[in-house]
Amino acid sequence: MSAAGPPISESTLRRRIYFYECDGAGIVHFSNYFRYMEEAEHGLWRATGLSIARAELGVGFPRVAASFEYHRPLRFEDEVDIQVRIVSISNRSMKYTCTITRNGESIATGSATIVCVAQQPDKSMKAVPIPPEIAARFAVAAGASS
């Protein structure tokens, strides 16, 4: 792993809505919001110099909870900001909130919880502590509440 700067607590991704993400009514299908949150989450990890999916880390980070509330529809060609903020970190898990906005207007809010796991000899996964060299790269966002 490369040397890291100060811990990261949030990241914002700007992206445009593509035609293939829309349903027959021209509105983004609800399932795509989870993909947007994951894209922003991966940006958060990249900002720390890490990737969430590196086998050499010896651990994985599956989602154990994810949700969204939808406030307004998104349509083809809309440009949105997807912000992911860390609201809690424990020994074995991290919880994010996600806010999707268009021109400052709230479109959707969501959350996800990931757990650090290691594969066992029988191929099952077991929750394990987040390795210190990973945990040190992240911090809870100021004013965050889970």
- Alpha carbons 93 and 123: distance in angstroms, whole number: 20
Q: Are strands 117-119 and 105-115 parallel, antiparallel or unpaired?
A: unpaired
10-135 in CATH: which number? 3.10.129.10
Tens-place pLDDT, residues 84-128:
999 999 999 999 999 999 999 999 999 999 999 998 888 888 999
Phi, psi angles (nearest 5°) of residue 135? -55, -35
The residue that leads in pLDDT, 3 or 145, is 145
- Alpha carbons 81 and 12: distance in angstroms, whole number: 6
**According to the model, what pLDDT value does residue 86 have?**
98
- Alpha carbons 44 and 52: distance in angstroms, whole number: 9
- Alpha carbons 119 and 137: distance in angstroms, whole number: 23
- Alpha carbons 67 and 37: distance in angstroms, whole number: 10
Q: Is pLDDT at 64 greater than 80 in this prediction?
A: yes
